[in-house]
Structure 1
Amino acid sequence: MSVQKMILDVDTGIDDAMAIAYAVADPEVELIGILSSFGNIEADRAAQNALKILHLVGANDVPVFIGHQNPLDHNYQRIDVNSQIHGENGIGEVELPTPTQPVATQDGVDFLLTAAQEYGDQLTVVATGPMTNLASAWEQDPATMKKIGNITIMGGALTVPGNVTPVAEANVEQDPVAANQLFTSDLNVTMVGLDVTLRTLLTKDETSQWRTTEAGSKMADIVDFYIDVYADLYPELGGCSLHDPLAVGVAIDSSFVTTIDMNMMVTTEHDAYYARTIGDKARLNDPNPNVKVAVAVDKDRYLQVFMNHFKQLFN
């Protein structure tokens, strides 16, 4: 079995916490570092949350780096809905021990480029927050970024409405300029967006199965907060979406989803279509599209693997 070297680029809210746990549990992954971003919460608090989750799942040796703290073209400001969905502390108002491991001093984007240089096509990068760190690394050193074997993002919405505006998904909306730079680069990217994550759901029937250990109960408390918010905001779904952990799952096993090959762009004008992810009309006839867009998901098989991973962690 070949093991992927993986970096997670997170804005550690609740679904990012599940993504971290999934990566730690998967036997095909060596998690070599976590890179924090703004989004669900500020980048520095996202880094602290990542360290807390790593401690919870017994992975204290994984270093955490802070990346960009603001979008490329404006200053970050946390919006009220993020506090509502993820809690003021980003992890469902659950108190976890203060991590003993400090945040790494190296700049997060520098760490990403160093890892890309070292591991090349053995490296997988999964971004579950805004794409600012990836776009910045691309701007600094495109040749090194092209060495990365697998770039998978959780973001965007092609066939369904957005979740912050009728057209915009949250991670893209936080920094549309960065997302557009990533999509219109010649990096090969897999987009795991709302098209598939809204179909991949978790309920308290599943989280209750983790409550056999103290750590499992803490994770269940965190995710149950998310499930309760979804019940209020999106009662039609019947559970909480596994946005970020699905992206990690797809990065490891692409057969979880069906994709279409497209050249994508993001609308960056400040109008009704701001932050929309859409096909790039200027590159419709390009014979080598660079984005694989997930449009269907084997949700039952994915949920089975997800639950197996979490039972392994928390039993």
Structure 2
Amino acid sequence: MGLKVLLFGDIGIDDIVALIYGALHEEIDIVGVVADYGNVPRKNALASVQYLHELYNQKDIPIFSGAELPLTGEEPTYYPEIHGEYGLGSIIPDVNVEGQIENFMDIASFIESYGEELIIVSIGRLTSLATMFIHYRKLMSSVQAYYVMGGAFWVPGNVTPVSEANFHADPVAVKVVLTHAHNLTIIPLNVTERAIVSQEMVDYIAEKGKAKLLKPILDYYYAFYKKRNPNALGSPMHDALTLMAPLHPEMLTCRSLPVYVVQSREGMERGHSIADIRPYVKFKEKEKKHRIAFDLDYNQFFSKFMSTMTGERF
């Protein structure tokens, strides 16, 4: 039995890769998935998780219907050119999700049943996670730890020059989570953009046949990055790295700092993540700090990713 993980995701290609990694890793036990809007509409995200669970014989893992809209009330922007219509590249899943999806509010009793052994990993928009804090703040304090993929600290964003997609889509939700989550580690673009899986790696994994579905979706993913940047060496595994972090913290170098997110409704600064690094400032005793990953040991990432996806030792 491994780490008990409740995963919140917006189910793009990198979310699917994280789910595949979790399905294959003996020390990671994804006990539930909350499927949200984000890279694709919520209904498509639900269908894709169901499809993946059937492919990997994980039908017993509950899928919760997450948020459909951000807390800002805006209509979401989707990214089929990056992730495909369903977050599976060109694949359209043929599944019937009716009657197989859990009600969102049942997450509370689910979390309660696991108590302090549960880790929450958020690899998508933070709306659903924030909603849980709004409704069940005391219950959420019982969770062992939180890992959130999001933010860009002094590096280029991927939606605006300074903002990363998960933080940009719902900065209100991000503020709720940063205010109330304890034992939180942020995995930003600083490190996820460096967690590259090359096409040579993808082809080798495909030869071994263990990581079903991985090659067609990463071929689609890489095509986008290659078109955007002809010098791209591969595809960044934003979400797989975040799922790997609780089990392999030695891959990352972190600092604990106060974190703020710009709440503007418009403008390139919306969702901008800011860490206060001023050494001369005496922060208030109650000023919350969060761990932020700033450096990645790529050799360790390569070894652990390839070992899990192939079943071989690297």
Question: TM-score, with normalisation over the residues of structure 1?
Answer: 0.90
Partner of 1:272: 268
In 2 relative to 1, CA 217–4 (structure 1 residues): closer, same or farther, beyond 3 Å?
closer
What amino acid does structure 1 have at the position aligned with 2:283? N
Question: SS at 2:180's partner residue?
Answer: coil
Partner of 2:84: 87
- 1:82-125 CA distance string (max 9 Å, x none): 11111123211124442678532322xx2332233222221011
What amino acid does structure 2 have at the position aligned with 1:205? E
Q: Percent identity?
A: 26
Q: Deviation at 1:48?
A: 0.9
What amino acid does structure 2 have at the position aligned with 1:160? V
Q: Could you tell me how far apart the structure 2 residues matched to 1:136 and 1:231 are?
A: 37
Higher helix share: 1
8 Å Cα contact 2:116-2:142 kept in structure 1: yes
Q: Could you tell me how far apart the structure 2 residues matched to 1:100 and 1:188 are?
A: 34
Listed as ranges, the matches of 1:105-124 within 5 Å are 105-107=102-104, 110-124=105-119
Q: Deviation at 1:306?
A: 1.1
What amino acid does structure 2 have at the position aligned with 1:8? L
Q: Deviation at 1:253?
A: 1.9
8 Å Cα contact 1:15-1:242 kept in structure 2: yes
Partner of 2:160: 165
Q: Deviation at 1:252?
A: 2.1
8 Å Cα contact 1:38-1:76 kept in structure 2: no
Q: Could you tell me how far apart the structure 1 residues matched to 2:211 and 2:275 are?
A: 41
Number of residue equivalences: 308
Partner of 1:310: 309
Q: Does 1:261 align with 2:256?
A: yes
8 Å Cα contact 1:56-1:215 kept in structure 2: no
8 Å Cα contact 2:20-2:211 kept in structure 1: no
In 2 relative to 1, CA 235–122 (structure 1 residues): closer, same or farther, beyond 3 Å?
farther
Q: Deviation at 1:138?
A: 0.5
Q: Does 1:239 align with 2:234?
A: yes
8 Å Cα contact 1:184-1:265 kept in structure 2: no
In 2 relative to 1, CA 217–181 (structure 1 residues): closer, same or farther, beyond 3 Å?
closer
In 2 relative to 1, CA 36–217 (structure 1 residues): closer, same or farther, beyond 3 Å?
closer
In 2 relative to 1, CA 284–59 (structure 1 residues): closer, same or farther, beyond 3 Å?
farther
8 Å Cα contact 2:47-2:97 kept in structure 1: no
Q: Does 1:44 align with 2:43?
A: yes
Partner of 2:58: 59
Q: Could you tell me how far apart the structure 1 residues matched to 2:36 and 2:97 are?
A: 21
Partner of 2:178: 183
Q: Deviation at 1:312?
A: 3.3
8 Å Cα contact 2:209-2:310 kept in structure 1: no
Question: SS at 2:256's partner residue?
Answer: strand
Q: Does 1:202 align with 2:233?
A: no
What amino acid does structure 1 have at the position aligned with 2:260? M
8 Å Cα contact 1:135-1:179 kept in structure 2: yes
